[in-house]
Amino acid sequence: MFKYLFFRAFAKPFGYLPTSMLRFLSGQKFIVPLFHTVSDVPLLHLKHIYEPIRVAKFRKDIDFFLQNYRPTHINKLLNGSVLKEKEPHFLLTFDDGMSELYNIIMPILQEKGVPATVFLNAEFVDNKSLFYRHKVSLLIEKWQNMQPSLALQNEIQALFLAEKLPFTTFAQTLIEETQHKHIPLIDALGEKLEVDFANYLVKQKPYLSLAQIHEMQQKGFTFGAHSLSHPQYSHVSLEEQLRQTQACIEFVLKYVPNSPKVFAFPFTDFEVSKDFFSYFQQKYPLDFTFGCAGLKKSEYSTHIQRIECEKGDYSMKSIINTEHIFYMLSALIGKNKVLR
C-alpha cells in the first residue's frame, strides 16, 4: 500500500530523471518486466479487473527497454551468464497465457528482436476453462447492463451472505472479496445471471491454444508454469500450493517439450513459506521461480522478483525509475530484501 501511494505521488516527476544514473546508483542492472496482455479493443473478461495497455503504449515501452537495457533470453539466466554481464539487461515475461500474445505481441517482439517467456496456467491452455477473475469481470459486465429485479438482488445478497462475504455492491464484493475458494459461488452467479462462461471460451478464445504455443516456441518464445488454476498461494494450503505448482510444471514439460522448469507465482509470492521453497529445492528442483514484488532482493538465488509494467498511462521510464528509487530508499532501512 505504501509503495502504491509512493508510486502515485512520485512516478511522474521521477520520469524526468535519467534511468542510467538511477540504475548506476541502485546497482540493479538486471530487470524482469511483467506484462499480461496488450489490446486496442475492450476485452470483457478483463474490463472490470484491469485495463490492458494499448498497442502504441506497448511499442513505446519496448523501445524504452531497448534504449536502456539489452534484451536477454531466459537461457542466459538459467546458465547464470546474464547476472555476470557488465551491460544492463531485461528479461521480458508475460503471465496467464493470453491469446493476444500470439496475435499482437509476438509480431511486435519479432520485429524488435526481443525474446520473451510466457507463464501458462495448465487449466486455461486451449481455452479449457476460464480464470475465476475473468469470470468476475464478465459477471460485473452483465450486472451493469441489466436491471436486476428486487427478488434477484435479494437472492444474490443471500448467496454472498451464505459465503460470509460482506455485501457492499455487486461489483465491489466480487472484485475485492472473492477468492479461488469462491469459484462454486462465481459459477452459481453465472447461472443466475445467464452468463455462459463455456460459450465465452469458445467464441472469444481468451487464451493461447497449444498449437499457437508450439508455433511461438518455434519462434523463440519460452514457456513456464503459473499454477493449474491461478489461486493466490497465501489463501490455499501448502499441500495445494505444491500440487498446483508441480502439476503445472509437469503439464508444461509434457505438452511444451524442452521447456525449462520455471514457475511464476500466480498473483504474488507474498506469505509463501520457506517450506514451499525447500520442497522445490530439495524434492523437486526447479530452475527458477519468479515473484512480482518489484525491484527487490530475494534470500534464494534462484528466486527473482519482477516489475509489474501495466500501470495505465505512466511511461515505462516513470515506472522503472520509481522502482530504482524505491529500491534505494528501501535499502537505506534494510527493506530491499524479501524475508520469509
Residues that bind Zn ion (CB under 5 A): 95-96, 266
Give 31-91 as a DSSP string.
E-EEE--B-SS--HHHHTT-PPBPHHHHHHHHHHHHHHSEE--HHHHHTS-GGG-SS-EE-
Q: Which CB, 96 or 141, lies closer to Zn ion?
A: 96
Toward Zn ion, which CB reaches closer, 231 or 266?
266
Q: How far is the CB of 143 from Zn ion (least distance, A)?
A: 24
Q: Provide the minimum distance between the beta carbon of 245 and Zn ion in the complex, in angstroms, as a whole number.
A: 13
Least Å distance between CB 206 and Zn ion? Answer: 13
Q: Closer CB to Zn ion, residue 232 or residue 330?
A: 232
Q: Closest CB to Zn ion among 38 and 156?
A: 38
Nearer to Zn ion, 311 or 324 (CB): 311
Task: Give every strand in the sheet of 262-264, ordered side by side.
Answer: 303-305, 288-291, 262-264, 222-225, 116-120, 92-95, 33-35, 307-308
User: Using CA atoms, how far apart are residues 251 and 248, in angstroms rounded to an integer?
Assistant: 5
Whose Cβ is closer to Zn ion: residue 95's or residue 323's? 95
Cβ 266 to Zn ion, closest distance in Å? 5
- Decide whether 190 or 266 has the Cβ nearer to Zn ion: 266
| Least distance from Zn ion to the Cβ atom of residue 330, Å | 24
Helices 150-162 + 183-192 axis angle, to 10: 170
Distance in angstroms (rounded) separating the CA atoms of residues 160 and 178? 10
Tell the smallest beta-carbon distance from residue 267 to Zn ion (Å): 7
Instruction: Give, in order, the Cα–Cα distances in Å from 33 to each of 6, 36, 57, 222, 310.
Output: 19, 10, 15, 15, 10
Q: What angle do helix axes 316-332 and 19-26 make, rounded to 10 degrees?
A: 30
Of 122, 131, 129, 128, the C-alpha closest to 255 is 122
- Nearer to Zn ion by C-beta: 293 or 328? 293
C-alpha grid cell for residue 171? 461489483
Residues 6+ apart with CB under 8 A from 98: 36, 37, 206, 207, 208
CA–CA separation, 166 vs 133, rounded Å?
18
Rounded-to-integer distance, Cα 64 and Cα 56, Å? 12
Give the shortest CB-247-to-Zn ion separation in angstroms.
16
User: Smallest distance, Å, CB 230 to Zn ion?
Assistant: 6
In the structure grid, which three cell numbers stand for residue 55, read together? 498497442
Residue number of the CB atom closest to Zn ion: 95
